[in-house]
């Protein structure tokens, strides 16, 4: 079912329920009003008959009948199926006048009237019976029972039901048709957005949806979709740049491999020359392997965080592993480790974090190894300081190497970027971008502070477990 049809049906259903409740309220109060009015009419008849009976009892039977008719003419007409009875103190019927079937009156009704002073009993088909206790100082107490059929209410309420039902049906038809067209009008901007979205492809992500300047919900949707297009365009541009740079970096060792092998195959070589070619080929293959592993780690670090397995880890133990591995790779470098005093509440597990061990180890290796490579020949050792404060575990790696300019520092998280001062140092420019992605995956952050000719400080920070 389309939104247009659903809106039309929902609008019609809401209005139907509202009109139905309104009609029921009108019918109920009309019924109560007419019922109360008819009851008062019956009580009025009962009082008249009681007065006529007492007047006739004092002056004879003929005069009583004439007095009864004279009082009845004061009313506009006789009620349908009207019956009026008068009972004395012994519950004996002493007067009857009416057009009905003359059903006997139950003694329980008379007793209830004498006990409560009045009685109202409503039967089926709008037939109503009332009882009234009439007190006379000379003749004693009398019970007057009047019964009649409320034919006017039956006719008028039937007409009211027909009018309400017809009005409800006509209103639903009008609202259904009107709601259909109004829903179409309201959803027209959505249809325009769908048409514009269908025309946007991966090759023209620069296009944006129109009608995004308003303040209604459709404009907000267009604004959010335009924001999504902005992110997609940035992601696609970054992907194209990444593929271009990665292809360029991969081409260099492959070119060396192909060149060396082609030269070796041109003519017969001495064992020494073949050994030199094999060594050069091995170096290029190692370079290619390191670059491929780095690209694979970047791809893995860019995965959905929910798909990366996390567990509780001791970051100080990971730091010791990274220190041992860097010392193996860079045996001439000096690395000092320092562990800050933890706060009292974290004395037992001061550096506990929740993360992925291979990824975090790769991040630590990248930062420490970079510090060693870019500070080679410096008098002061590389310092790695691990601390915890305010629920965050922080690792600061400081070196007194060549440093970098502010312009280069702002580009260090771009894959394959190499600062001007370290172009002669072997590397691929993927260490810090990979570390940034790993920290982002763990809810942390990376900060780099550097001064040209002074040194660099890289800070890794992530939530403590």
- Percentage of the chain beyond pLDDT 70 is 77
- What is the Cα 281 distance to its own chain's centre? 59
Task: Encode pLDDT of 80-97 as tens digits.
Answer: 777 788 887 778 887 777
Cα distances from 240 to residues 235, 244, 431, 440, in angstroms, run: 9, 6, 20, 22
* Average pLDDT of the residues of the chain: 76
Residue range(s) in the chain whose domain bears CATH number 3.30.565.10:
305-463
Q: Give the per-residue pLDDT at 65.
A: 55
Residue ranges, comma separated, of all CATH 1.10.287.130 domains in the chain are 217-300
Average pLDDT over residues 196-224: 71
pLDDT at residue 76 in the model: 42
The proportion of the chain whose per-residue pLDDT surpasses 90, expressed as a percent, equals 0
Which pLDDT belongs to residue 195?
74
Residue 328 Cα distances to 232, 333, 369, 373, angstroms: 42, 10, 11, 13
CB 365 within 8 A of CB 326: yes
Out of 3.90.1560.10, 3.30.479.30, 3.40.50.720, 3.30.565.10, the CATH code matching 305-463 is 3.30.565.10
With a cut of 70, say whether residue 280 has pLDDT above it: yes
Question: Residue 57 pLDDT more than 60?
Answer: no
DSSP for 180-243, please give it.
HHHHHHHHHHHHHHHHHHHT--GGGTT---SS-SSSSHHHHHHHHHHHHHHHHHHHHHHHHHHH
- The lowest-confidence range among 53-62, 97-106, 193-202, 388-397 is 53-62
For residue 47, the model assigns a pLDDT of: 81
* pLDDT score of 212: 62
Assessment of whether the complete model's pTM goes beyond 0.75: no
Confidence band of 352 (pLDDT split at 50, 70, 90): confident
Q: What CATH number does the domain located at 217-300 have?
A: 1.10.287.130
Residues of the chain with CATH 3.30.450: 3-157
- CB neighbours of residue 410 within 10 Å: 12
Average pLDDT (291-303) is 60
Would you say how long the chain is, in residues?
465
pLDDT of 303: 53
Alpha helices in 305-356 (DSSP H): 315-329
Burial of 222 (0-12, 13-18, 19+ CB in 10 A): buried
Q: Which CATH number is 3-157 given?
A: 3.30.450
């Amino acid at each position: 079912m389309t939104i247009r049809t659903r809106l039309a049906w929902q609008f019609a259903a809401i209005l139907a329920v509202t009109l139905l409740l309104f009609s029921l309220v009108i019918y109920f109060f009309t019924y109560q009003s007419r019922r109360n009015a008819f009851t008062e009419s019956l009580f009025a008849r009962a009082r008249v008959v009681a007065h006529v009976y007492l007047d006739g009892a004092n002056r004879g039977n003929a005069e009583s009948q004439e007095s009864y008719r004279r009082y009845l003419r004061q009313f506009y007409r006789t009620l349908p199926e009207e019956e009026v009875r008068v009972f004395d103190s012994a519950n004996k019927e002493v007067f009857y006048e009416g057009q009905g079937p003359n059903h006997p009156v139950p003694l329980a009704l008379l007793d209830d009237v004498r006990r409560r002073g009045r009685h109202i009993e409503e039967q089926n088909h709008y037939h109503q019976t009332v009882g009234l206790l009439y007190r006379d100082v000379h003749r004693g107490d009398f019970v007057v029972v009047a019964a009649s059929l409320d034919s006017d209410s039956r006719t008028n309420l039937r007409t009211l039901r027909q009018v309400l039902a017809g009005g409800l049906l006509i209103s639903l038809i009008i609202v259904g048709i009107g709601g259909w067209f109004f829903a179409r009008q309201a959803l027209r901007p959505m249809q325009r957005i769908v048409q514009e979205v269908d025309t946007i492809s991966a090759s023209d992500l620069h296009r944006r949806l129109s009608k995004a300047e308003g303040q209604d919900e459709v404009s907000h949707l267009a604004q959010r979709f335009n924001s999504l297009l902005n992110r997609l365009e940035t992601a696609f541009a970054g992907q194209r740049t990444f593929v271009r740079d990665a292809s360029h970096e991969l081409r260099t060792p492959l070119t060396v491999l192909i060149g060396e092998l082609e030269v070796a195959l041109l003519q017969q070589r001495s064992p020494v020359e073949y050994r030199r070619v094999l060594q050069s080929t091995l170096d290029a293959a190692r370079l290619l392997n390191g670059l491929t592993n780095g690209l694979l780690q970047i791809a893995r670090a860019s995965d959905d965080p929910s798909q990366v397995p996390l567990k509780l880890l001791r970051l100080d133990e990971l730091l010791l592993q990274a220190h041992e591995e860097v010392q193996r790779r860079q045996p001439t470098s000096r690395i000092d480790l320092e562990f800050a005093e933890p706060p009292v509440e974290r004395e037992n597990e001061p550096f506990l974090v929740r993360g992925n061990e291979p990824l975090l180890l790769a991040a630590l290796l990248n930062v420490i190894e970079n510090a060693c490579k870019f500070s080679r020949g410096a008098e002061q050792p590389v310092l790695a300081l691990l601390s915890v404060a305010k629920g965050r575990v922080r690792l600061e790696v400081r070196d007194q190497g060549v440093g970098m300019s502010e312009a280069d520092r702002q580009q260090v998280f771009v894959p394959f970027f190499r600062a001007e001062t370290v172009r002669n140092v072997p590397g691929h420019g993927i260490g810090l971008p990979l570390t940034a992605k790993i920290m982002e995956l763990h809810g942390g952050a990376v900060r780099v502070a550097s001064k040209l000719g002074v040194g660099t400080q890289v800070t890794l920070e992530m939530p403590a477990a």
